[in-house]
Structure 1
Amino acid sequence: MKIIKGVDRGRTEWTARKLVEFVEDGTVNFNIDIQRGYVWKDNDKKSALIRSLILDRHVPPLYFNKVEEIYEGEDGKQRTLTIIKFLKDEFELSGLDEFTVINDDEETEEIDINGYKFSDLPECFQNAIKEYSFTICYTDNADQEEQADTFYNLNNGQALNAATMNRVKAKSKERIISLGKHKLFADALSQTALDGHVNEDMVAKAHAILNDEEVSTDAKWIRPYMRRADITSDDEFLLNEVFDRIYNIHSMIEDKKIAKRIYARTHMISSVPIVAESLNDGYSDKQMMEWFVNFFCGKKSPTTSKVYNDAAGRGTGKNSAVRKRVEEIKKDYDKYFGSVKALAS
C-alpha cells in the first residue's frame, strides 16, 4: 500500500527586502481567489510585527503555491502588506516597549520609537527590518482545491470572518467570486466589507433565497449551503440581471433614506426573488423603482408592512423570518401591480 500524496513541497529563505521586491515586480502575488483583503486595522498589532523583525524574533513562515515562476500567496498576506506599508511610511509605531541599544559610547540606553515611521528610525533599526529573514514554504503547481485546502488548514480556528470561511470551501467558488465583482456590491458595501468578502457571502444568500425553501441567512446555515450549492450558468445569468436591476433602481431613487434601505443587506437579499419575478413579468426598472419607493417608505420602520418589519428585527436570519419577508414583499408587489393594471385598463 502506498499513500498518494499531494504536490511537491519546498522551502527557502527570503529577506524582507527581497519579499517586498518580489511583490513589486509581480513575482509574488497575493491576489488569488481564496485570499482576503488587507484586514489588519489595529496599529498595535502591526507595530508588534515590526518589533519582531527588529529583534529578529520568530515569525511564522509564509506559504505560497509556485506556478511557473510566480509565487501565489496562500498565507502571509497581512504580514507582507504590513511590512510594505511601514516601509512606505504609511503608519506610525505604537504600543511598544522601549528598546535597549548600545550607543556610540559603548553604553546601553533605552530608545522609545513609538510615533516613529520607518524613515524616522535609526539606520540600524531600518536595516534590521529590511534584512529580516523569512522562512518561505511553497508547493509546486497545486490546483485550486489544494490551495483552498492549504488556506483552510492554515487559518482554521483563527479569527477569519464567516464570509471568508464560506468562500474557501464553496463548490461554485469561481462563479461566486465573479458575481461578487458586480458593480452593485462596490456601490453598496464599504471597502472593509469588500475586503472581508461580504459581497460573495451576499451572492450565496441571493442564490439560496431563489433556490432553497429552507433558506436561512445565518452563517451556520449558509456555510454548508455554499459547500453544496451548484451555481449554474443560467443561475449566474439571472443573478447578474437581478443585481443590475437593484443597482439601477437604487440610482433612480431620489429619497436618500429609501435608497439607503434598498442597499441594507437584509432588505436587498429579501428583495431578490421579487426582482427576479419582475424581470419575468416584463416590468421596467422605472416601474420597479416606483414599487420599491412605495413599499420601503415607512416613517419609523423600513416598510409599510408591520409583518415584514417585525421579521426584519430579532432573528432576522432564521428561515421563518426570511420566508415572512419574502411573502410580504410578494403580497405587496401583487397588490401594487394589480392596482396599476386596473388603472391602466
Structure 2
Amino acid sequence: MTTAHEQEAPGVVEDVFDGLATGVEVEGDGGADAAIVRPWDPASIRVTTNQFSLRNILDMIDEGSLELAPDFQRGQVWKIDQKSRLVESVLLQIPLPAFYFAEDSDGAFRVVDGLQRLSTLHAFVRGGEQGFRLKGLEYLRENDKGFADLPVQWQRRIFNTQLVVNVIDPTTPPDVMYDIFKRINTGGTPLNAQEIRHCMSRKRSRDILKIMTSMVEFNTATNGMGGHIRMNDREMALRFAAFWLLGMDAYMERPAMDSFLERATRLLDNEKEVPDERVIELYEAFRAAMSNAHLLFGEYTFRKWPEGVTWRNPINRALFETWSIALAPYDPADLEGRRTAIVAAARRRMSRDIDYLDAITSSTSDRRRVDYRFRAAAEDAKAGA
C-alpha cells in the first residue's frame, strides 16, 4: 500500500453539462472500454439502408412500432430556436443526415441516432405536451406558427419529406450493436454510456431503474440525484444491480464496465432471467443499501471524505457501487453501533491509501482496481465488529 504521504492524492473534478455542475465526479476509466475486447466478425454486422417518409415515421411513433426512448431528459436540451430551424430545414427541403434504427426480433424499431431530431419533428407536427410554435426562423416568415397554422402545401411538404434510415438487423449481437451505437453517435452533445444504454434498452429495465432512482432512500443518500439530466442516477442504480445480480466473478471474467452494464441491462429486460420476484429482492437490497449508507456517512455518502476535509465533494460512482454492495446485507442496528469505527476506517483509507484513491479515481474499470476497492469497502464495513 502506498500512502498519501509518499504520493500526492488524485484531485476531484466535477462533471459539467451545459455550463452547470452535475453533482457527480468525473470518472477516469482510462479508456479501458475503448478497445474492442474481442474482434467482431464483420459478417455479424448487418445494416441495411431504407427510405421512409416523415409521415410514415410519425405514424410508427404514434402506434408504438418506433420507440423514442421515453423518460429521456436530454430531449429537452434543444432550445426553441434550434427546433424551429430543424423544421425550417425540412420546409426548405435541405436533406437531413441519415438516421439509424435498431430493429428488434419482433419487428419494432428503436432510434439509435437521430433521437433529438425525430422528437423535435414529432413534437411540432403531432403536438401534445412537447408541442411548440416556430421561433427565430432565418429564411421563412412562418414565426409564431404551429403545424396546424401552416399552409396546406407546407404541411404536405413536411409529411412527404424522405428520410434516409440505416437499420441495424436484429441478428446483430448486442455488444456489436452497442459498439455501432457509440461509433455513430453524432449529436451536438454526444450521448454518454448510460444514455446509449437507455436508448437501446427495453421498457422493463428502464422501469426498474426508474423505480430504484425514485426511492426516497436513494434520493436521501444522494441529495436528490433522481432524475439526473445525464442519467448518472440510472447508471449508479444499474451498477448496483449488475454487481448484485452477476457478482464480482462475472466482472473479472470480462473486466469492461460498459460490457458488464450492458449485460446487466439485458438481464433486467429478460423476465425469464430475472423474474419479478427477483426484482423485488433487488429493490429491497437497494433500499437497504441506500438507507445504511446514509446512516453511516450522512451528507458525505458516496463522496470522497478524507480526514480533515469538511467540504462536500461530488458523488463518486466507484464509491457508490462498492459501498452500496458492501452495506446492503447489514442490519441498521449493527451499523449504528459501529458507525464511528466504520467512518473512521473509511476516511483513514481515503487519506492514507493512495492505491485506494487511485482505484476510485482513475482507470476505474481496471480489474485490479475494481477488486481492490470492493475488498476495501467490505473490510471497512466490518470495522469495530
The alignment's TM-score, normalised by the length of structure 1, stands at: 0.59
The separation in 1 between residues aligned to 2:340 and 2:45, in whole angstroms, is 55
Task: Give the direction of change, closer, same or farther, for the CA distance of 1:128–1:166 in structure 2 (3 Å limit).
Answer: closer
The separation in 2 between residues aligned to 1:289 and 1:268, in whole angstroms, is 24
Match status 1:227 vs 2:259: yes
The separation in 2 between residues aligned to 1:310 and 1:204, in whole angstroms, is 27
Q: Is the Cα–Cα contact under 8 Å of residues 17 and 130 in structure 1 kept in the other structure? A: yes
1:9 to 32, 43, 48: 48
Q: Is the Cα–Cα contact under 8 Å of residues 207 and 239 in structure 1 kept in the other structure? A: no
1:53 to 86, 90, 103: 90
Match status 1:93 vs 2:134: yes
The separation in 1 between residues aligned to 2:237 and 2:243, in whole angstroms, is 10
Query: Which residue identity lines up with residue 42 of structure 1 in the other structure?
Result: W
Q: Is the Cα–Cα contact under 8 Å of residues 243 and 325 in structure 2 kept in the other structure? A: no
The separation in 2 between residues aligned to 1:324 and 1:6, in whole angstroms, is 37
Aligned position for 2:30 = none
Runs of 5+ unmatched residues, structure 1: 100-110, 216-222, 339-345
Per-residue deviation, 1:278: 4.6
Aligned position for 2:178 = 148
DSSP-derived class of the 1:147 partner: helix
Match status 1:163 vs 2:198: no
Per-residue deviation, 1:58: 0.8
Match status 1:318 vs 2:362: yes
Larger radius of gyration: 1
Q: Is the Cα–Cα contact under 8 Å of residues 64 and 73 in structure 1 kept in the other structure? A: yes
Task: Give the direction of change, closer, same or farther, for the CA distance of 1:130–1:120 in structure 2 (3 Å limit).
Answer: same
The separation in 1 between residues aligned to 2:324 and 2:181, in whole angstroms, is 36
* Structural mapping, 1:1-345, within 5 Å: 4=43, 6-7=45-46, 9-14=48-53, 16-31=54-69, 38-43=74-79, 44-66=81-103, 67-87=105-125, 88=127, 90-99=131-140, 111=141, 113=143, 115-145=144-174, 146-155=176-185, 159-164=189-194, 167=197, 181=209, 183-187=211-215, 188=219, 189-193=225-229, 196=231, 198-200=233-235, 203-204=238-239, 211=248, 224-227=256-259, 242-249=285-292, 258=298, 261-262=300-301, 266=315, 269-270=318-319, 272-278=321-327, 283-288=330-335, 305=347, 308=350, 317-318=361-362, 331=380, 334-335=383-384, 338=385
Per-residue deviation, 1:185: 2.3
Task: Give the direction of change, closer, same or farther, for the CA distance of 1:71–1:274 in structure 2 (3 Å limit).
Answer: closer
CA RMSD between the two structures:
5.3
Query: Which residue identity lines up with residue 46 of structure 1 in the other structure?
Result: K
Per-residue deviation, 1:166: 7.8
The separation in 2 between residues aligned to 1:289 and 1:277, in whole angstroms, is 15
Q: Is the Cα–Cα contact under 8 Å of residues 29 and 71 in structure 1 kept in the other structure? A: yes
Larger RCO (CA within 8 A; separation ≥ 6)? 2
Q: Aligned pair count?
A: 294
DSSP-derived class of the 1:155 partner: coil
Per-residue deviation, 1:155: 1.6
Q: Is the Cα–Cα contact under 8 Å of residues 54 and 125 in structure 1 kept in the other structure? A: yes
The alignment's TM-score, normalised by the length of structure 2, stands at: 0.54
- CA distances 1:55-81 after superposition (whole Å, capped 9, x unpaired): 111102222244454333332222111
Q: Is the Cα–Cα contact under 8 Å of residues 10 and 139 in structure 1 kept in the other structure? A: no
- Structure with greater proportional helix content: 1
